[in-house]
Structure 1
Amino acid sequence: MRFKQITIGLFFIISFLIIGSVRAQKKDIVDYVNPLIGTPEAGFKEGLDGGGTMPCVGPPFAMTNFVVQTSENKISRMPYVYEDDSVLGFMATHQPTVWMGDYGYVSIMPQIGELRLLPKERALSYSHDNEASKPHYYSVTMDAGNQKIKGEIAATSRVGFFKFTYPESDNSHLIIQGINITENKKPFQGYLEIDVENKEIRGYNPQRMSSHLGPDLPNFKGYFVIKLDREFKDFGTWNSFRNEPQITVSGTEQKGARMGAYISFKTKENEQIKVKIATSFISIEQARRNLEIEVPHWEFEKVVKETRAIWQENLSRIDVKGASEDQKSIFYTALFHTMLFPREFSEYGRYYSAFDDKVHEGISYNDYSLWDTFRALHPLLHFTQPERVSPMIQSLLQMYQEGGWLPKWPNPTYSNIMIGTHADAVIADAYIKGFRGYDVELAYEAIRKNAMHPPYQDTEKVWGDRDEGKLYEARGGLTYYHSLGYVPSDKTRESVTRTIEFGIDDFTIAQMAKDLGKTDDYNRLMNWSKNYKNLFNKKTGFMNARLFNGDWAKNTQEGFTEGGRWTYLFGAMHDIDGSIELFGGKEAFASKLNENFEDNHYRHDNEPGHHYAYLFNYAGQPWKTQELIRKHTSVENYRNAPLGINGNDDCGQMSAWYVFGVMGFYPVTPGTEIYAIGAPQFPELTLRLTNKGKKNDFKIVANNLSENNMYVQSVTLDGKRITKPFITYSQIINGNELVFEMGKTANANAFTND
């Protein structure tokens, strides 16, 4: 009996240990995110771009990104580049992506030994082996001669919390860089002051790296308040003129274009110094208020834990089962990337507007990469962030009211970057999906203006991406688009792409006009939306540029944005039936699509063709779509490694494409409820939806899915057979279960009643 009791006792102990071990190994969803994915400058092949992401710390859609700085960032270079081998600082940045500029930033850097102030001089080497990166926490151990300094980051939306572990040293320092202008087209001057009594360094940085592309903003400043958890005894400010630092040992104030401050102190072995940076676009007082609201304490781990919990909840809105560990990391990192932009821009009921240079009451977002994100990111937010959709639209409408036009790429004001006015598509698409938490009449007024009114001096300028000056482009070339039925290449740059993309936006506005009973507008807009047909050259079989006199331009590769004639051949995503008709029917259309993919004309690393794989559905060959989705959601474009995104992520668009791809459907045409069905890539995925306050789980099941079984054999929605390769937003948001039967052979009858 006693032996039996001992045996039972051992059984329970062993069982407890085994269960505990399994639980210890179990990952939460947030643990799958790898923010280092997409951070290399290198692309998948020579000549291709890297992902342009950074391992920032903070909650979803944070106003300020807190990141370790390995590079002096500028337009075309991020603050963190994976190939770099040294750390220059720990940064509060607002640079959204590699092609855009930073603004209102500030950085700090721990140091020992001789005081070294400029970025390259103060740099400390590090290895990725001594680096940890999560959405809620980052750490790196840096080499400081024969000693080590460890830096850690936690953050809220507007406040960064840093913890530095120093070695024993009589000369330990913290370097603050308030502004870092080495080249700029405008004479910005930052300001900084040291407040010894309050253990505070405060100031502002007015620099906007993209300022030459938009209007002047005399009141713009990125304000900061820096707090340390120790007394200031030895300190000073510095100012670099022509890269030569001038140190003012006893000074407490500094102004300049490349300047900062330093705090010096003694440290014991492994002594920790905690630093908080609060940011604001409103005032120093508001930065201090943001600090008091978001991080009023000195509990570093508490911030890590709270931000982690926020990410866990947001990422859990899509639950994946049956995927490999690598697939989960790729998926949840992609989902993480779709929850960074547009960034929050308001500060507890108020916001600074970079469109009228004033402070207003309300909620605001900024940094919209609209040319990219209207395609998949914003449609994905309808499912994953429905509570933010209307506020994001309201923010765009505020920009319209304060600046006169909807923006194309606010950074944080008008920038004349990219073409088209795709805020139109974002607004109209959300309206059609039932989002109404904004002024609907104002929204229609704003998008209608884009469609109906050419910009000032439209026929006097040739326009162009990133044109400098104060004139805001809107739809450059719209006068010709209306009068000729196309944008002529000898009058306006990027004419073919403009004609196609104006048509996309016109179509989306037309759908909103129709619903609002504005019939005359609807008819005009739908007529204009077909203008792309006027650029289809039957002799070449491509969309080609035309001159003002109607002749075809001699250069058949002229008139395109970030691509050529193959890039935009199927670009009229709003009128696919019309495009099929241009090619002479479905068979000819599918043949040309095949040529596009088989001869490697398709470029997944850029956005214009992101809907192309789904076009086979419209041509009666959905199995081709299924093949291509398997191919392009694979390691060919997405990998669980730093070099893991094929092309610039462009504020989440590349990642949003992947999320839709593995879910099994895609929003080809904005301004409609229709999604083209592809093929799910995971055995089971659940969308945890919220529709008008009501929560609902929508499960997507792929039975018999395997490496070989990539083809759809049939699809049922809540037990009812789907007979066409399409599904609607209403079906998803009100449905419960979408079931795919998968097989190893292409099935031409997958979407029939047979």
Structure 2
Amino acid sequence: MYKIKYFSIGFFWIAMGCHVSLQAQTKKQPVDYVDNFIGVRDENTSTILGPQLPNAPINPSPQTAPGKINYDMDGYIMGHDIRGFGQLHVSGTGWGKYGQIFLSPQVGLAVGENQHDSPKKDEIAKPYEYGVTLTKYGIRTEFTPSQHSAIYKFTFPKSDSSNILIDISHNILDIATVMQQGRSGFEVGEIEFTNKEKTEIKGYGKYVGGFSDGLYSVYFSAKLSKVPTQSGTWFNGDINYGQIKQLSKKANDRIGAFVNYNTTANERIYLKIAISFKSIEQADDWLNNEIPDWNYEKVKNTAKEIWNTELGRIKVEGGSETDKKIFYTAAYHASIMPRNKTNDAPDFDKGVLVWDDHLAVWDTWRTLYPLKVLTNQAMVSGTINSFIARYKKYKSVKDAYVALREMNAEQGGNDASNIIVDAYVKGVEGVDWKAAYEVVKFLADEERKGIANTDSGKMYKQLGWIPTGKMSNSVTLEYAYNDYGAALMAKDLGTKADYEKYLERSTKWIALWNPEAQSDGFKGFIEPKKLNGDFVNIDLKKNWGSWKNYFYEGNSWTYSYFVPHQFDKLVNLSGGNEAFAKKLQYGFDHNLIDYGNEPSFLTVHSFLYADRPDLASYYIRKLMKERFSLDGSIENDDSGAMSSWYMFSAMGFFPNAGQDIYYLTGPSFKKTKIHLSNGRVLTIEAPNASPQNIYIKSILVNGVKWQGNIITHNIIQKGGSIVFDMTNKL
């Protein structure tokens, strides 16, 4: 009897142990919440579907047949036939880049750009793997990335005409045809089989077009797991069996290579490929070191572990499954760009840090970099050291740096300065701050020329504001904030004269404030101003577009709140707390402030300066609900800038980037743990957080009641706890 009882109890605990173990195995990890289709379902969000490692240069992804709107800047539109697979892409941008090196598995051989499109089924997309079945051919294609390389697994049907095509002339402009403006596309290149078995293929192409200026080169090295039955090259539609090398002859030639197999049903053939911006030899090194064998599962599992580590820097609890999907997908999108191209940039010596694919820092300085200051300071210091290297090499650090090329046109201010200052005031380590200040000083003294780059544009340094012209108002406001940051650094690292000059200049934006400008019964707005001092009366609700007069991608309502360093002054100019809050509330309620673009990111937090934290919390939750879904964020994700806005808002605090302060607005999750770069942990709790409880009743910081809604980075970076008591009542 006792023996039976003992056995039963033992069996019970064994069973319970197995149950707990199974639960542990099946418990969702951060990477399991990521939905790569968020931001792809909504094509305006424009995020990339294919996988990559955090901030890694290679980003293999499917490309589709073009859409009618010609807006598939990343090369992919939901529901369209699959054209093939490129290795390089950008994510969340309003203007595309790259698209090389292009692979197309086929049954039969079609080399024309639009001749191998295939319907699809069983499509999966995760941060560490993509897979799809091409129903035209019955081929299953799957791939997973390493840092500069990727491995493909093609599962073929039974056929004596199974082929893999490589097209080095293809680039994103073949799909996003709206970008075919002027000199654009494939310039020159070659492809070659480099061993007698025809299992190694190498080559390069030079390209132009897309976001940023100038020619750029892409080199590749690829290897196949099986010796082909036949192989060859193709040139402008002509197929050349047995040929081992093909060169282009003129711009926009179409060239590539192919391998042919006799395959059995469900036969797997692997292809691994590495990309370099420096040389074929460098691509070879990446490939040999990163994927030395044909172990697909090993590469996939490593990629999954890397993403779990990256995404696990912040862990949230207590929200819905949808909330967690949106949050962790945002964290994923905030870790795609910029790309670390150290040791792969021809202009820089080995070991010099080079971070590329800034499209552009006008987007990312406000939320993405402050997020990484908390969780990944190596990325921030790497970027700043890259700025220093670019300044030394080019005497230039522009807003956009893509494909290792500076882009002359800027969207606003000299905003690399803001990234440097934000890191400086928050004590980021690993930077020579004297060298970093040289960059900031250069931008303050030698740039600040205005977008038009005319005499009137250059007058910012003389007047502190720019007279009427292209983006004159928005650029003035951005320069003013650039100068405020420059003053913060100059106070410690520069001269007294520099400090006073920059600080004074940062306040002169007020010259563009017209107290008599009116819109919908409200007075006081930023307006264009002539050199003689006369204001130009405009429609204050008009969005002026890109690189047009007065404002960049926004209206006066939006830009009249962009003074991150002088919100107190702005409240006074607007007639005090009550008038300021009433006007701003009207702007939000009537969609007069474009929250799909970065200049408005801080606008909702300015309610705090009018003593209305309730309105800040209300509109933050309203914006989160209306603008973020399982489809995307309505507008471009902008290299993770929009995703970072969402993450901060969901965690309950928000940075004023370039200063050492955060605004406390209340979290939507019951618990958030942030594993800070310095090894400490910040825990944010809101036990009664809910979709209804959106207002802050009280705050405890490390157990002590907190007064007000602003907290400094010095407190945040020490870790500890912030506890919000949330309520549904004002």
TM over 0.5: yes
Q: In 2, distance between residues paired with 1:103 and 1:19?
A: 47
Q: How many angstroms does 1:5 deviate by?
A: 5.1
Show the counterpart of 2:544: none
Q: In 1, distance between residues paired with 2:683 and 2:348?
A: 46
Show the counterpart of 1:524: 501
Show the counterpart of 2:441: 448
Show the counterpart of 2:136: 144
Is the CA contact 2:46–2:74 (under 8 Å) kept in the aligned structure 1? Answer: no
Classify 1:205/1:411 alpha carbon distance in 2 versus 1 (closer, same or farther; 3 Å).
same
**Correspondent of 1:677 among 664, 682, 687:** 664
Identify the range of structure 1 (24-33 vs 727-736) with the bigger mean alpha-carbon deviation.
24-33
Show the counterpart of 2:545: none
Is the CA contact 1:75–1:100 (under 8 Å) kept in the aligned structure 2? Answer: no
Cα deviation code 1:125-175 (max 9, x no counterpart): 113xx1111111111111025xx2101011111001100100101100001
Matches within 5 A, 1:228-307: 228-240=224-236, 245-256=237-248, 257=252, 258-307=254-303
- Code of the residue aligned with 1:549 in structure 2: it is N
Q: Per the alignment, in what secondary structure is the counterpart of residue 690 of structure 1?
A: coil
Q: Give yes or no for the alignment of 1:209 onto 2:203.
A: no
Q: In 2, distance between residues paired with 1:344 and 1:310?
A: 15
Q: Give yes or no for the alignment of 1:649 onto 2:650.
A: no
Is the CA contact 1:179–1:260 (under 8 Å) kept in the aligned structure 2? Answer: yes
Q: How many angstroms does 1:582 deviate by?
A: 1.4
Unaligned runs of 5+ in 2: 175-179, 518-523, 541-548
Q: Per the alignment, in what secondary structure is the counterpart of residue 87 of structure 2?
A: strand
Q: In 2, distance between residues paired with 1:648 and 1:454?
A: 28
Classify 1:377/1:741 alpha carbon distance in 2 versus 1 (closer, same or farther; 3 Å).
same
Q: How many angstroms does 1:496 deviate by?
A: 0.6
**Correspondent of 1:363 among 353, 357, 361:** 353
Q: How many angstroms does 1:620 deviate by?
A: 0.6
Q: How many angstroms does 1:677 deviate by?
A: 1.0
Q: Give yes or no for the alignment of 1:508 onto 2:502.
A: no
Q: How many angstroms does 1:302 deviate by?
A: 0.1
Classify 1:193/1:206 alpha carbon distance in 2 versus 1 (closer, same or farther; 3 Å).
same
Show the counterpart of 1:660: 648
Q: How many angstroms does 1:543 deviate by?
A: 0.6
Q: How many angstroms does 1:296 deviate by?
A: 0.8
Is the CA contact 1:68–1:79 (under 8 Å) kept in the aligned structure 2? Answer: no
Matches within 5 A, 1:478-517: 478-489=457-468, 492-517=469-494
Q: How many angstroms does 1:101 deviate by?
A: 3.8
Show the counterpart of 1:437: 430
Q: In 2, distance between residues paired with 1:689 and 1:9?
A: 43
Classify 1:359/1:122 alpha carbon distance in 2 versus 1 (closer, same or farther; 3 Å).
farther
Classify 1:614/1:562 alpha carbon distance in 2 versus 1 (closer, same or farther; 3 Å).
same
Q: How many angstroms does 1:79 deviate by?
A: 3.8
Q: How many angstroms does 1:714 deviate by?
A: 0.6
Q: In 2, distance between residues paired with 1:399 and 1:478?
A: 25
Q: In 2, distance between residues paired with 1:29 and 1:117?
A: 41
Identify the range of structure 1 (565-574 vs 515-524) with the bigger mean alpha-carbon deviation.
515-524
Q: How many angstroms does 1:66 deviate by?
A: 1.1
Q: How many angstroms does 1:96 deviate by?
A: 4.3
Is the CA contact 2:352–2:389 (under 8 Å) kept in the aligned structure 1? Answer: no
Q: In 1, distance between residues paired with 2:693 and 2:478?
A: 37
Q: In 1, distance between residues paired with 2:288 and 2:170?
A: 28
Is the CA contact 1:103–1:208 (under 8 Å) kept in the aligned structure 2? Answer: no
Cα deviation code 1:49-79 (max 9, x no counterpart): x111012212100111111222469995334
Is the CA contact 1:317–1:687 (under 8 Å) kept in the aligned structure 2? Answer: yes
Q: In 1, distance between residues paired with 2:350 and 2:26?
A: 49
Cα deviation code 1:324-356 (max 9, x no counterpart): 11111111110111111111112xxx2315xxx
Matches within 5 A, 1:461-472: 463=451
Q: How many angstroms does 1:587 deviate by?
A: 2.0
Show the counterpart of 1:46: none
**Correspondent of 2:169 among 179, 198, 220:** 179
Matches within 5 A, 1:412-431: 412=403, 413-415=405-407, 416-431=409-424
Q: In 1, distance between residues paired with 2:481 and 2:81?
A: 45
- Code of the residue aligned with 2:603 in structure 1: it is Y
- Code of the residue aligned with 2:643 in structure 1: it is S
Show the counterpart of 1:387: 378
- Code of the residue aligned with 2:27 in structure 1: it is K
Q: Give yes or no for the alignment of 1:39 onto 2:40.
A: yes
Q: In 1, distance between residues paired with 2:412 and 2:28?
A: 43
Q: In 2, distance between residues paired with 1:609 and 1:567?
A: 6
Matches within 5 A, 1:56-205: 56-71=50-65, 76-103=71-98, 105-113=100-108, 115-127=109-121, 130-144=122-136, 148-180=138-170, 183=180, 185=183, 188-197=187-196, 199-205=199-205
Q: How many angstroms does 1:14 deviate by?
A: 4.7
Q: How many angstroms does 1:656 deviate by?
A: 0.3
Q: Per the alignment, in what secondary structure is the counterpart of residue 323 of structure 1?
A: coil
Classify 1:433/1:71 alpha carbon distance in 2 versus 1 (closer, same or farther; 3 Å).
farther
**Correspondent of 2:45 among 33, 51, 54:** 51
- Code of the residue aligned with 1:547 in structure 2: it is K
- Code of the residue aligned with 2:691 in structure 1: it is E
Q: How many angstroms does 1:477 deviate by?
A: 5.8
Show the counterpart of 2:616: 625
Q: How many angstroms does 1:117 deviate by?
A: 1.2
Q: Give yes or no for the alignment of 1:744 onto 2:721.
A: no
Q: Per the alignment, in what secondary structure is the counterpart of residue 742 of structure 1?
A: strand
Q: Per the alignment, in what secondary structure is the counterpart of residue 207 of structure 1?
A: strand
Matches within 5 A, 1:711-750: 711-746=695-730
Matches within 5 A, 1:485-634: 485-489=464-468, 492-540=469-517, 541-557=524-540, 559-634=550-625
Q: How many angstroms does 1:679 deviate by?
A: 1.0
- Code of the residue aligned with 2:700 in structure 1: it is T
Q: In 1, distance between residues paired with 2:270 and 2:90?
A: 25
Is the CA contact 2:74–2:96 (under 8 Å) kept in the aligned structure 1? Answer: no
Classify 1:41/1:189 alpha carbon distance in 2 versus 1 (closer, same or farther; 3 Å).
farther
Show the counterpart of 2:543: none
Percent identity, aligned pairs only, is 32
Q: In 2, distance between residues paired with 1:168 and 1:122?
A: 19
- Code of the residue aligned with 1:711 in structure 2: it is Y
- Code of the residue aligned with 1:254 in structure 2: it is Q
Q: In 1, distance between residues paired with 2:458 and 2:285?
A: 48
Cα deviation code 1:618-662 (max 9, x no counterpart): 11111111111221222x1111x2x22221100000000011001
Is the CA contact 1:370–1:408 (under 8 Å) kept in the aligned structure 2? Answer: yes
Cα deviation code 1:709-743 (max 9, x no counterpart): 21111111111111111011110111311111111
Show the counterpart of 1:47: none
Show the counterpart of 1:701: 685
Is the CA contact 1:511–1:671 (under 8 Å) kept in the aligned structure 2? Answer: no
Show the counterpart of 1:30: 31
Q: In 1, distance between residues paired with 2:719 and 2:243?
A: 66
- Code of the residue aligned with 2:671 in structure 1: it is E
Is the CA contact 1:75–1:99 (under 8 Å) kept in the aligned structure 2? Answer: no
Q: How many angstroms does 1:515 deviate by?
A: 2.1
Q: How many angstroms does 1:612 deviate by?
A: 1.1
Q: In 2, distance between residues paired with 1:480 and 1:745?
A: 50
Is the CA contact 1:712–1:743 (under 8 Å) kept in the aligned structure 2? Answer: yes
Classify 1:76/1:424 alpha carbon distance in 2 versus 1 (closer, same or farther; 3 Å).
farther
Q: How many angstroms does 1:109 deviate by?
A: 1.2
Q: CA RMSD in A?
A: 2.2
- Code of the residue aligned with 1:312 in structure 2: it is N
Classify 1:71/1:441 alpha carbon distance in 2 versus 1 (closer, same or farther; 3 Å).
farther
Q: How many angstroms does 1:252 deviate by?
A: 1.5
Q: Per the alignment, in what secondary structure is the counterpart of residue 122 of structure 1?
A: coil
Q: In 1, distance between residues paired with 2:609 and 2:65?
A: 46
